[in-house]
Amino acid sequence: MTRTLGDYLIHKIPKLPDDLTQFDAEILLAHAIGKPRTWLTAHLDSPLAPTQLASINRAFSRLEAGEPLPYILGHWEFFGLDFDITPDVLVPRPETELLVEKAIHWLKQTPERRTVADVGTGSGIIATAIAMNIPDARILATDISLEALKIARHNAEKFHVHHRIDFLQCDLLPEHIDPLPTESHFDLICANLPYIPTATLSGLQIFGREPSVALDGGEDGLNPYRRLLKIAPAWLAPHGMILLEIEATQGIKAFNLAADMFSESIISLQQDLAGHNRLLEISFHEH
């Protein structure tokens, strides 16, 4: 039986996972037929051809099987930019925009500071968003995953900032301080590292759907941050800053970890729009 676009939506919405909305369904439907969502909402009475119906059914079957919507679409918006993504990287989340906002604000306030490290870059959203907003920034983007780095480079090329970002496969930061365009020191080190405790991760909906290497933070969720903070002083320029995205319940633990390691720094916790501890800020001011 031939259905209209509107009929299909009415039929499918009750079957969607609880965390998905009609807006999500409309986005997927529009994607499956190759039209913008604005076109879709104006043509809900349009009949569906058999090939269109087959394409839509495939897309919704993936969604109903638990595949995240952004992976089906192949792209997702972050900080006003449309990033391409694959299952090799995490889905960009709005909470990370707080880190980007703080980084851009600090760089604008200190125009003499322009070298940045984005540790664990994933899809490259942090590095690319900073490069888009700070035209003279020079950025090193690292990741342990070569596939993630390929996507990060692709996104930097998509927004024409790849010539200001160096991509390097390594665990956190390079083992040896070789000459880099950043002169081996960074004014700003940013990181959104895996921060979900191992025992917690297996019970979450995202387990097995997004890459565990980008989610698993070890026994208490802070192992990658301990390792990064241990090596960061060798890489940080004098009076630089470190910005770390953290899991909402880890604020005090992360704060104490930084305080124990950097007694002469100024450490603060920043809250996201939901009021959760989301960003650890470590600054090293001039005396």
Rounded mean pLDDT, 267-276? 93
Rg (CA), the chain: 21
**Is beta strand 277-283 parallel, antiparallel or unpaired with respect to 266-271?**
antiparallel
Say what the pLDDT of residue 179 is.
55
Rounded mean pLDDT, 111-122? 96
* DSSP 8-state assignment for residue 15: G
Secondary structure of 195-249 in the HEC alphabet?
Answer: CECHHHHCCCCCECCECHHHCECCCCCCHHHHHHHHHHHHHEEEEEEEEEECCHH
Rounded mean pLDDT, 70-91? 96
Say what the pLDDT of residue 235 is.
93
Rounded mean pLDDT, 197-211? 84
Q: Which of 30-44, 99-113, 175-189 has the lowest mean pLDDT?
A: 175-189
* Cβ-based neighbours of 275, under 8 Å, separated by 6 or more: none
Q: Return d(Cα 236, Cα 84) in angstroms, integer.
A: 31
Using pLDDT thresholds of 50, 70 and 90, give the confidence band for residue 115.
Answer: very high
Using pLDDT thresholds of 50, 70 and 90, give the confidence band for residue 223.
Answer: very high
Rounded mean pLDDT, 189-201? 89
Using pLDDT thresholds of 50, 70 and 90, give the confidence band for residue 171.
Answer: very high
pLDDT at residue 181 tops 60: no
Do the Cβ atoms of 52 and 39 come closer than 8 Å? no
pLDDT at residue 5 tops 90: no
Q: What type of residue is 252? A: I
pLDDT at residue 184 tops 70: no
Among 231, 212, 222, 210, CA closest to 251: 222
Residue 259 corresponds to which tokens in the numbers above?
A: 């305080």
Among 34, 133, 30, CA closest to 78: 133
pLDDT at residue 286 tops 80: no
Residue 125 corresponds to which tokens in the numbers above?
A: 């959203």
Average pLDDT, the chain: 90
Q: Which of 22-26, 76-80, 250-254, 256-260 has the lowest mean pLDDT?
A: 22-26
Q: Which of 48-52, 160-164, 275-279 has the lowest mean pLDDT?
A: 48-52
Do the Cβ atoms of 17 and 65 come closer than 8 Å? no
Using pLDDT thresholds of 50, 70 and 90, give the confidence band for residue 287.
Answer: very low
pTM, 2 dp: 0.91
Rounded mean pLDDT, 234-240? 92
| Best mean pLDDT range from 57-61, 126-130, 210-214 | 126-130
Higher pLDDT, 109 or 66: 109
